[in-house]
Amino acid sequence: MNTGKASPWMKTALRLAAVYNIGFGLWAVFFPAMMFEWAGLAPPNYPELWQCIGMIVGVYGVGYWIAASNPLVHWPIVLVGFLGKLFGPIGFWKAAAAGTLPWTFGWINITNDLIWLAPFGMILNAAYRYQLERRISSSPEVQRMALRSQTQHGLSLHELTEISPTLLVFLRHIGCTFCREAVADLSARRREIEANGTRIALVHMSPEAEIAPFLARYQLDDVPRVSDPNCNLYRAFGLTRGNAGQLFGPKVWIRGFHAGVLEGHGAGRLRGDGFQMPGVFLMFHGEILRSYRHHSAADRPDYVSLTDTEQLVP
């Protein structure tokens, strides 16, 4: 199964937070009076308390560095940090409003807390979506039901996977540049895929009258396929609708120009759910051996590598 792949900016944000927290912690431990002098307050009578706070902040930094290795899996660390960065400014505001702390002391909330709320919140949202996809796609009952879907040849997807390993490719709508690129890639590398003992099967959102001539242009009209206009199969395999970044981010525009204009794949009118994300699953005997869930509509999987069964751990 797919273990989840976080966007590079998530790892960068957590590592920056880690470096900041560790640096702040060391500063508080070795210079416990400096912050109070800067804010115009008397040094604390018990500097050890401030030093303890510094050590706690530094330990959070170690946690952020660990979480950066896989933010979508280590989301509880991010959640604890997010809550601390949310409640810290609230606590300061109450103290400042009561007159027990000067407002100038609040500058520390900007660098310690406020600037991290947005990236931490976005990481938590991505982690929620990922965990939701895993729960949906890990349900064997849902997938068994989905695999009963019949292809245009009358065989079910499950029957195909009993005959041989099957690369089940979920396409975007056929007017999408990246759908056309994906079909062209499958056509160009079909011989290599089949040389690995794997057959190709497609799941799409178009009626048969539209998909057949479309695939014929790529010499794939004989490939087993299932029409899923309501995207029930997509959901059964944990493929959700994309967000703005996944569908309209900078990578999508750059790759779209390259695929649509430079490579000549072009684009057509919207045919199906334009927000539906694609994915690829290598299946055998009804089980998923390997998967690739797109994190961007512009992702371009290596279909041959996905079918290399020699790399699978028995």
Each residue of 16-50: pLDDT tens digit? 999 999 999 999 899 888 877 776 777 777 888 88
For the cut 60, the answer to whether the pLDDT of residue 152 exceeds it is yes
For the cut 80, the answer to whether the pLDDT of residue 135 exceeds it is no
Residue predicted with more confidence, 217 or 310: 217
- Tell me the average pLDDT of the chain: 88
Residues 52-86 have pLDDT tens digits of 888 999 999 999 999 999 998 899 999 999 999 99
180 within 8 A of 199, measured Cβ to Cβ: no
How many other CB atoms are there within 10 angstroms of residue 198's CB atom?
Answer: 23
Helix 250-257 / helix 177-188 crossing angle, nearest 10 deg: 60
Over range 192-217, report the average pLDDT. 94
- Count Cβ atoms within 10 A of the Cβ of residue 262 and give its class: 0-12 exposed, 13-18 middle, 19 or more buried: exposed
> Two tokens at 289?
């051996």
How many other CB atoms are there within 10 angstroms of residue 286's CB atom?
Answer: 16
Strand order in the sheet with 166-170: 225-227, 199-204, 166-170, 279-284, 287-293
The pLDDT, as a whole number, for residue 266 is 92
- Count Cβ atoms within 10 A of the Cβ of residue 279 and give its class: 0-12 exposed, 13-18 middle, 19 or more buried: buried
Residues 260-280 have pLDDT tens digits of 999 999 998 888 899 999 999
Confidence of residue 210 (pLDDT cuts 50, 70, 90): very high
Question: Residue 173: what are its φ and ψ, rounded to 5°?
Answer: -65, 150
DSSP result, the chain: -------HHHHHHHHHHHHHHHHHHHHHHH-TTHHHHHTT-PPPS-HHHHHHHHHHHHHHHHHHHHHTT-TTTSHHHHHHHHHHHHHHHHHHHHHHHHTSS-GGGGHHHIIIIIHHHHHHHHHHHHHHHHHHHHHHHT-HHHHHHHTT-B-TTS-BHHHHHHHS-EEEEE---TTSHHHHHHHHHHHHTHHHHHHTT-EEEEEESS-HHHHHHHHHTTT-TTS-EEE-TT-HHHHHTT--B--HHHHHSHHHHHHHHIIIIIS--------S-TTB--EEEEEETTEEEEEEE-SSTT----HHHHT-GGGS--
Domains and their CATH numbers in the chain: 8-137 (no CATH), 140-311 (3.40.30.10)
pTM for the model: 0.61
> Two tokens at 38?
């800067």
The pLDDT, as a whole number, for residue 4 is 52
User: Cα separations (Å) of 156 from 74, 163, 289?
Assistant: 38, 11, 18
Confidence of residue 5 (pLDDT cuts 50, 70, 90): low
For the cut 60, the answer to whether the pLDDT of residue 301 exceeds it is yes
For the cut 60, the answer to whether the pLDDT of residue 314 exceeds it is no
> Two tokens at 277?
């994300």
> Two tokens at 242?
């994309």
Confidence of residue 215 (pLDDT cuts 50, 70, 90): very high
